[in-house]
Amino acid sequence: MAQALPIRALAARVLLSVENGQSLNQCLPPALNQLAPEQRPQLQALCYGSCRWFHRLDGELHHRLNKPLRKSDRVVHHLMLVALFQLRFSEQATYAVLNETVEACRALSKPHLTGLVNGVLRAAEREGAPELEAISSRFSHPDWMVEKLRHNWPDDWQAILAANNLQAPMTLRVNALRFDRDQYLKLLDEAGIGAKATRFARHGIQLEQPVPVDRLPWFDDGAVSVQDEAAQLCTQLLDLQAGQRVLDACAAPGGKTCAILEACNGLAEVVAIDESAERLPRVQENLDRLDLHATLTEADAADTASWWNGERFDRILLDVPCSATGVIRRHPDIKLLRRESDIVPLAGIQLGLLQAMWEILQPGGRLVYATCSVFPQENHRIIQRFLKQQDTATLVPISADWGRDMTTGRQLLPDPDSHDGFFYAVLEKPRT
């Protein structure tokens, strides 16, 4: 096997791939596979941390460089960002960061830049972090996102940005078919894992510290799944009853499909659809581990002619593709990947999916619309637009002790101590 690159060099390459449009979920696993298992958490932490603080670190690097590096040397720019991340946000000894970053520069076949790297990092260490004026550096988010959040949430935007820059807690959903929550909390306690019940989700448990899933009691046997508290709330809104036919229209990787099956024994059928051939197998993996069953179909849910057999659904969960701006703390690469110009086309897809799903909902049935976005354009405004077109649809008010009432739905903003940002709306079709 060829000698693996040093960890920092791998991290720089991953960051470059993210800048070029790949998600961490796509480009990190192949890099992790080049390392021994005990080194993988370090690479993961470097990549997530450097994305989380990318805009701040990039601001500092621009301030320190007289001129940008040539395009062909761009990976060295990212290598310096990784080193700055370590200098500013980790406990790593400075001399190790400097020496090993210079080594990584050589390993990336850029020996002509070792002097520059060394000089920039020494100055960074000597001078400390500069005060930067630019909005993107101050909040470590792209300008457009800061501006949009400021416009959408005049009283909350700074809290949202601050929450986005934190690491999210690890939250579990106890499989109610196997354990009740108190029993499982006891098992965690016996295993020496600190945890507490979530406030809003009935089967949720939040861990004090993230742990590898293989340390969780009975994980392989389907006792629990990893799922944010806000995502778990979907089952409480669906009002599931035995005998119902349920559609999960955008299902992969299947977190909510499994939550639905665990929440109600005796559903007639759960159909899980996703258009991504790459992601759909993840639904099956999750079902298998939990010993649950659903009918899986790879299709564009909106193109009902291609997959629907004509039998209407009593319940539909529509967890639409969205900007994912409510889950930035779990996916900090979103700051680099998402563009402002993505939002209008996404809103078009969301409304189109909602219109198509409405057609296949049983009269008297219920549809829950969900996103992990904090932009009203993808959330309560989609519901407003839909209700204008569909005057027979009934909006069911969500009375809950979580989130805030947006009239046409309920919005959760990311909470530094618990759940992600999420949006839910509940619609019912009259029986006619």
Ligand X SMILES: C[S@@+](CC[C@H](N)C(=O)[O-])C[C@H]1O[C@@H](n2cnc3c(N)ncnc32)[C@H](O)[C@@H]1O
- Annotated binding site for S-adenosyl-L-methionine: which residue ranges? 250-256, 274, 300, 319
Q: Where are the beta strands (DSSP E) in 200-284?
A: 204-207, 224-226, 245-248, 269-274
Angle between helices 7-19 and 24-32 (to 10 degrees): 160
Q: What span, in angstroms and rounded, lies between the C-alpha atoms of 21 and 8?
A: 20
Segment lying near ligand X (by CB under 6 A), choices 25-33, 143-151, 245-253, 401-409 = 245-253
Could you tell me the smallest distance in angstroms from the CB atom of residue 73 to ligand X? 36
Q: Do the beta carbons of residue 125 and residue 99 sit within 8 Å?
A: no
Strand 295-298 to 394-396 pairing: unpaired
At 196, give phi and psi (nearest 5°).
-145, 160
Segment lying near ligand X (by CB under 6 A), choices 33-41, 56-64, 180-188, 251-259 = 251-259
Q: What span, in angstroms and rounded, lies between the C-alpha atoms of 19 and 14?
A: 9
Among 276, 362, 384, 390, binds ligand X (CB under 6 A): 276
User: Going residue by residue from 340 to 359, which x/- string records binding to ligand X, judged by CB under 6 A?
Assistant: -------------x------
Q: Is 372 in the active site?
A: yes
**Can you tell me which residue has the tokens 């996703």?**
274
Q: Residue 429 has which token pair?
A: 């079709």
Q: Is 279 in the site for ligand X (CB under 6 A)?
A: yes
Q: Is 383 in the site for ligand X (CB under 6 A)?
A: no
Could you tell me the smallest distance in angstroms from the CB atom of residue 296 to ligand X? 12
How far apart, in Å, are the Cα atoms of 252 and each of 48, 236, 264, 400? 23, 20, 20, 27
Please classify residue 159 by burial: count the beta carbons closer than 10 Å to its beta carbon, then call 0-12 exposed, 13-18 middle and 19+ buried: middle
Count, residues near ligand X per rule CB under 6 A: 19
Closest CB to ligand X belongs to which residue? 250
Segment lying near ligand X (by CB under 6 A), choices 83-91, 295-303, 336-344, 402-410 = 295-303
- Rg over alpha carbons for the chain, rounded to the nearest Å, is 23
Q: Between residues 254 and 376, which has the closer beta carbon with respect to ligand X?
A: 254
Interface positions, 302-341, toward ligand X (CB under 6 A): 302, 319, 321
Beta pairing partners, 245: 269
Q: Which residues are annotated as a binding site?
A: 250-256, 274, 300, 319
Could you tell me the smallest distance in angstroms from the CB atom of residue 283 to ligand X? 8
Beta pairing partners, 422: 412
Could you tell me the smallest distance in angstroms from the CB atom of residue 320 to ligand X? 7
Q: Between residues 57 and 271, which has the closer beta carbon with respect to ligand X?
A: 271
Q: Is 290 in the site for ligand X (CB under 6 A)?
A: no
**From the CB of residue 269, how many other CB atoms can be counted at a distance below 10 Å?**
15
Q: Is 298 in the site for ligand X (CB under 6 A)?
A: no
Q: Between residues 177 and 356, which has the closer beta carbon with respect to ligand X?
A: 356
Beta pairing partners, 70: none
Q: Is 19 in the site for ligand X (CB under 6 A)?
A: no
| Residues assigned a catalytic role | 372
Where do contacts with ligand X occur on this chain (CB under 6 A)?
231, 250-256, 273-276, 279, 300-302, 319, 321, 353
